[in-house]
Chains A and B, each alone.
Chain A
Amino acid sequence: MIDNLARQTLLDPAGLGESELSRLLGTTFGREGVDGGDCYFQFACQEGWSLEDGIVKSASFNIERGAGIRVVRGEQTGFAYSDDLAMPALLEAAGTACSIARAGQSGSVAVQGRTPARELYVPDNPIDSLGEQEKIDLLKEVDAEARAADPRVTQVMCSLAGSREVVMVLNARGELTTDVRPLVRLNVQVIVEQGGRRESGSSGGGGRFGYRHFREHGQAAAHAREAVRQALVNLEAVDAPAGSMKVVLGPGWPGVLLHEAIGHGLEGDFNRKGTSAFAGRIGERVAAEGITIVDDGTLAERRGSLNVDDEGNPTEETVLIEDGILRGYMQDELNARLSGTQTTGNGRRESYAHLPMPRMTNTYMLGGNADPEEIIGSVEDGLYAVNFGGGQVDITSGKFVFSASEAYLIENGKVTRPVKGATLIGNGPDVLTRVSMVGNDMQLDPGVGTCGKEGQGVPVGVGQPTLRIDGMTVGGTRAA
């Protein structure tokens, strides 16, 4: 009934069997007034290889094993964790987590296995998907490709990271769910120099698969060339404009706009507490007609996807905005219960040592009808931004930023000179009402996003088609 790998990595070494789990459940959740919670077991191994100066000079391997026990009562959460999985340590953590609950007789709760409905990724360990020498060779090929791409390349840094997490969630109802999650990532950063001016460029990708993916699709070399291309574009960049103007965003990773402008504001915790600028606005227009945005954790092999969330519930495709109207929030169990609704499978946590909360998975806007060329051609004077670094949002005021790392001026409907990176700032609840054209080229990002919330990082995805926004503040240095 319990997944073999979970049994081998989490239960057997600590001498835990079903009777111990049942006793742990009874002690933890059998008390009066407990509304929910879970015992979250996790075994994660992670490796990283990095190349610099043409040689793979360092690598690391890390193991994390532990369990977090969470007891929920009303709006209150008690939490403790242990990196020792033996029964006495678990019972001690359970006792501590229960300190918010009333004392009482502990009952017994039967363990029932739940089988995830789907397999969005192969549970093999990515760390074993290539031999050590092959990993080194892959990084060396990336280095060679980048250096061969242009003589102005002076530094190449690249890294390969892989991990596998075995997760077992045992909730207060006795339901036991397991998930085995692979994740890999390749990153390249280059420095180019010309006439004393230095610029950088970077590219990367990944997802829930093995390292061979980078080989099979020639992706590794493509990332090397892309990093060099971006750096060379930036060598020619002139000062960015400052002020409010029309902005065309490219497809794919610029979808970080959606993540910041509306994604965080639609997380269930902020809306239950009334601290989000979107609180109480379900059914209202928050985007132009034709705009539909979803959060979808069910896409095969994507970085932000999960078979089940960290509360053991299946992830879903949740419609956030439909044809411009706000339709729903992303929920975990606690916030769904307190808001009188159902979880949407968005309860996520960084590790066993962190509490779950509503988090995004893959958040993207569906494609429209416009030809991307036609969108650019429609702008007389504006900014065309195709690559971004990170972003940030103040969910209460709704103000958000995201920073362009590759952008161009649009003059008379034509993309002209590249401009230096600049931060774009806007107001989440109204920025999407200014979208006037939606491209037919919806694209998901290459698999590089990590979202931070209350100090916890989780892998996420974003995506969007080419978009025209009529009026965003661009934070360049050149005042018009």
Chain B
Amino acid sequence: MSQRPAVETPEAAAQALSHSPESLRARVQQALEEAKKRGASDAQVVVSHSVGLDLGVRKGEIETLEHERDQNLSLIAHFGQSKGAASTTDFSEQALLDTVEAACRIARYTEPDPYAGMPSIAFKAVDWEDLDLDHPWELSIAQATELAQRTEQAGFDAESRIENSEGASVNTRRAMAFLGDTQGFMGGYRSTRHSLSCALVARGDDGMQRDYAYSVSRRAADLGIPEDIGREAAERTVRRLGGEKLSTRSCPVLFAPEMARTLIGSFTRAISGPAQFRESSFLLNALDERIFPEWMRIEERPLTPRGLGSAPFDGEGVQTRNRPLVDRGVLRSYTLDSYAARRLGRETTGNAGGARNVTVRPGTLDAPGMLREMGTGLLVTELIGQGVNPVTGDYSRGAAGFWVENGEIVHPVEEITIAGNLRDMFRAIVATGSDVDYRGNIRTGSILIESMTVAGE
């Protein structure tokens, strides 16, 4: 019906950063010096900058074309045991001075905290390896448009019941950040992140369903094939048509890999420094305790080349390390920054900014094998709502998925909840799959839990 949109800018999408590493470093240095001048005993500055392109196509036509360009300077100024923080997106000379002034002014009012301070120099990264995170994608708008169009079209072609679309989109972003402090640490690196995604709508006899598929990576060459992503989105959408409620029952629950990730996410939050020192964790003081079955192992792997969560040093310049979090089912480490470490009388684990590339050791069963292992029960492919109490571990979330009998999918299921307590659920893990989903900071295969309460009719 309508023609392709006329695109007037043939040049490659801007993957060129508009600040040089030298200019970011100079801003870090200047902010540190200004803080010192105002009497700060210590200071830390992070300057970041990114450029990106986000192009969305819907029903074959460009719907949105967004050019992203962000910058931020943030500063923490310590005055003995007191501190203040400030940030700005304005990189003018005056804004930089105002920001330093604001942090210093705040520090005059905040009260001394015996645990405040920066990490000991002994923990700082000195020499770090290149984690291969920077792979700019010289993608023209015409090329991006074509990729998105191919993705979406493959979805429409795959299934006749796909009658509508929320669109397909291509996103590419390149960032650079520098971190420096008054103890002499200065480090920075560039990184990229590219993605291709598609969300489709299908109509059945009793209403509509929507689902999506996506691929994300540091390197464009590692992205999935557009046609595969479109087809997967179509299949995921259509298989949800005709969903039924279940009657209320207790049964085994198999979390598909992208949902299993959320269980591991609750685990990493519970072992984080703030959750521990605020006594707001269902795994409070659980170090050296068996919280998973004996065969389970979970590692943090921040140094994985091209990993989506990889970083050579943490948000305080502390060296990151690959290490076990859970070994033989036993919790071996919290994830701490230097502040939490001092609060808990421990050493920093290089987790300022969180845990990175948390990896559940894969089991031997693939996705069909996991269904057979469950036999009869609920396969969960979507969860909605928050429904997790971080203090008690009480868990109750909206779910959709499939009813499974004798290892085979019988029918789609919707408008149900699944409930339990995370401590009990972790202990009741029967198997983890080899179907690992690498598209995020948490990497796990599917997770089978012996029994949960399913509420429906």
Residues of A at the B interface (CB closer than 8 Å) are: 52-53, 55-66, 75-84, 93, 96-103, 132-133, 136, 154-155, 157, 191, 193, 198-200, 240, 242-244, 273-275, 277, 353, 355, 389-403, 420-423, 425-427, 473-480
Contact = CB atoms under 8 A, between A and B. Distances in A.
A475 B164 contact: no
A403 B70 CA distance: 35
A275 B166 contact: yes
A401 B62 contact: no
A120 to B, nearest CB: 27
A99 B61 contact: no
B410 interface: no
27 contacts: A57-B116, A58-B110, A60-B85, A61-B84, A61-B86, A61-B103, A63-B95, A77-B64, A79-B67, A83-B90, A84-B91, A154-B279, A200-B391, A242-B248, A244-B248, A393-B384, A398-B207, A401-B385, A402-B385, A420-B392, A421-B394, A421-B396, A427-B415, A473-B457, A475-B397, A475-B398, A475-B455
Contacts of A55: 111-113
B249 to A, nearest CB: 7
Interface string B239-266: 0100101001110000000000000000
A101 B394 CA distance: 53
Contacts of A61: 84-87, 99, 102-103, 106
- Of residues B245, B284, B391, which shows the largest number of chain A Cβ atoms within 10 Å of its Cβ? B391
B381 interface: no
A77 B63 contact: yes
A396 B208 contact: yes
B17 interface: no
A275 B387 contact: no
Given A99-B141, A397-B207, 17 more contacts: A59-B84, A59-B109, A63-B89, A65-B95, A75-B63, A76-B5, A81-B69, A83-B69, A155-B278, A191-B280, A275-B166, A390-B385, A423-B396, A425-B417, A475-B396, A476-B419, A479-B250
Contacts of A273: 58, 164, 166
Interface stretch (B6-14, B172-180, B219-227): B6-14
A427 B456 CA distance: 12
A402 B384 CA distance: 9
A172 to B, nearest CB: 17
Nearest to A73: B5
A13 to B, nearest CB: 8
Contacts of B457: 243-244, 473
B118 to A, nearest CB: 14
A479 B415 CA distance: 16
| Chain B interface size range | 35 or more
Interface string B76-105: 000000111111111100010011001101
A199 B393 CA distance: 10
B210 interface: yes
Interface of B: 5-9, 58, 61-71, 82-91, 95, 98-99, 102-103, 105-106, 109-113, 116, 141, 164, 166, 201, 207-210, 240, 243, 245, 248-250, 278-280, 284, 382, 384-387, 389, 391-392, 394, 396-398, 400, 414-421, 453-457
Contacts of A100: 5, 7, 62, 65
- Of residues B5, B71, B414, B418, which shows the largest number of chain A Cβ atoms within 10 Å of its Cβ? B5
A114 B84 CA distance: 40
A411 B55 CA distance: 55
Contact of A476 (B207, B208, B453): B453
Nearest to A420: B394
A63 B415 contact: no
Given A66-B89, A82-B69, A392-B398, A102 B63 contact: no
A479 B249 contact: yes
Contacts of B141: 99
A275 B398 contact: no
- Of residues B210, B248, B249, which shows the largest number of chain A Cβ atoms within 10 Å of its Cβ? B248
A273 to B, nearest CB: 7
A218 B365 CA distance: 60
B90 A243 contact: no
A189 B82 CA distance: 23
A125 to B, nearest CB: 14
Given A200-B280, A421-B389, A479-B250, A403 B66 contact: no
Contacts of B67: 79-81, 93, 96-97
Nearest to A353: B70
A80 B278 CA distance: 41
Contacts of B454: 242
A103 B278 contact: no
A480 to B, nearest CB: 7
Contact of A474 (B201, B389, B455): B455
Contacts of A97: 67
A106 to B, nearest CB: 13
A450 to B, nearest CB: 13
B165 to A, nearest CB: 8
A403 B387 contact: yes
A198 B278 CA distance: 12
Given A242-B455, A243-B457, A475-B398, A76 B85 contact: no
A389 B394 CA distance: 14
Nearest to A78: B65
A423 B89 CA distance: 39
A422 to B, nearest CB: 5
A65 B457 CA distance: 52
Contact of B201 (A136, A275, A423): A275
A118 B66 CA distance: 33
Contacts of A56: 109-111
Nearest to A476: B419
A14 to B, nearest CB: 10
A96 B113 contact: no
A58 B400 contact: no
A392 B382 CA distance: 12
Nearest to B115: A57
A186 to B, nearest CB: 18
Contacts of B397: 401, 423, 475
Contacts of A480: 248
Contacts of B385: 390-392, 401-403, 423, 425
A243 B456 CA distance: 5
A422 B455 CA distance: 11
A389 B389 CA distance: 10
Contacts of B8: 98-99, 101-103
A52 B66 contact: no
Nearest to B392: A199
